[in-house]
């Protein structure tokens, strides 16, 4: 497979592999496939500290006392080229996590405003939101917070002009073409359309996060 990528240096101990500007299922699937291979080949090496994905990048933290940037870049570049020769996209979704959600009312205070501005009934917005199967592009912002790809553009909606001081734990929100879930109460500017009682992050569990980037998620209205 021919896929352009860029290897760049960030700070004094971070290498970033960038696979373009697009945030889509195909690029994110490639990122996670390559993460698995890189971890298999490099995570045990003493100079590698961590390897993790973002939307369309792979970030590698390394010990610059044990290897210099140019040597690592050359080594990673060779491996990525070999991986891409054999890479075959397989976008079949598995590991689907279902998230039960109470939509609207006190649980989704922004649903009514979205309905008015989009000129779509609240029930229809809920139907559209629950019909999609979402890919978990990455976990970020706070422990366990999933950034989900696959939102229907018909219910895309801009962030709040003034963020809330506190968004309740379990709140399900929409911001632009993204939808996500707040694992903890926190400030936030996403439009809140519902709430789940699912625990997304529990430090006493192993693993502590319910969701994993690269997996899929479906919302269920209850």
Spatial strand order of the sheet with 6-10 comes to 6-10, 14-18, 57-62, 48-53
pLDDT in tens, 79-138: 888 888 877 766 555 678 999 999 999 999 999 999 999 999 999 999 999 999 998 988
Confidence of residue 29 (pLDDT cuts 50, 70, 90): confident
The reported pLDDT for the residue numbered 157 is 96
pLDDT in tens, 192-216: 999 999 999 999 998 899 998 888 9
Answer for the pair 112, 125: CB distance below 8 angstroms, yes or no.
no
The Cα 53–Cα 36 span in angstroms is 10
C-alpha distances in Å from residue 191, one per residue of 55, 160, 199: 21, 6, 20
Going by pLDDT thresholds of 50, 70 and 90, the confidence category of residue 32 is confident
- The architecture that CATH gives domain 6-86 is 2-Layer Sandwich (3.30)
What pLDDT shows up at residue 42? Answer: 87
pLDDT at residue number 65: 93
Question: What is residue 198's predicted lDDT score, i.e. its pLDDT?
Answer: 96
The residue that leads in pLDDT, 189 or 28, is: 189
What are the extents of the domains in the chain? 6-86, 96-221
Structure confidence at residue 53 (pLDDT): 86
More confident residue, 153 or 91: 153
- Fold (topology level) of 96-221: Cyclophilin (2.40.100)
Indicate if the pLDDT at residue 175 is higher than 60. yes
pLDDT over 80 at 1, yes or no: no
| 163 Cβ contact partners less than 8 Å away, ≥ 6 residues apart | 187, 188, 189
Q: Phi/psi class of residue 59: alpha, beta or left (left: φ > 0; alpha: ψ in -120 to 50)?
A: beta
The lowest-confidence range among 18-27, 126-135, 162-171 is: 18-27
The separation between CA 29 and the C-alpha centre of its own chain, rounded to angstroms, equals 11
Say whether pTM exceeds 0.85.
no
């Amino acid at each position: 497979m021919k896929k352009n990528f860029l290897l760049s240096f960030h700070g004094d101990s971070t290498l970033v592999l960038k696979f373009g500007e697009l945030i889509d299922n195909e690029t994110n699937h490639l990122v996670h496939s390559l993460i698995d291979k890189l971890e298999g080949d490099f995570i045990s090496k003493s100079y590698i500290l961590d390897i993790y994905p973002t939307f369309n990048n792979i970030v590698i933290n390394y010990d610059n006392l044990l290897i210099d940037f140019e040597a690592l870049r050359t080594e990673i570049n060779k491996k990525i080229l070999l991986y891409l020769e054999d890479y075959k996209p397989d976008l079949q979704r598995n590991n689907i996590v279902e998230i039960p959600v109470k939509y609207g009312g006190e649980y989704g205070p922004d649903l009514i405003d979205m309905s008015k501005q989009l000129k779509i009934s609240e029930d229809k917005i809920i139907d559209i939101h629950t019909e999609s199967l979402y890919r978990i592009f990455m976990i970020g912002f706070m422990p366990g917070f999933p950034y989900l790809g696959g939102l229907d553009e018909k219910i895309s909606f801009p962030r709040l002009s003034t963020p809330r001081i506190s968004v309740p734990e379990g709140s399900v929100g929409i911001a632009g073409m993204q939808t996500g879930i707040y694992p903890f109460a926190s400030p936030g500017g996403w439009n809140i359309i519902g709430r789940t009682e699912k625990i997304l992050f529990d430090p006493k569990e192993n693993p502590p996060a319910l969701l994993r980037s690269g997996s899929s998620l479906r919302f269920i209205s209850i």
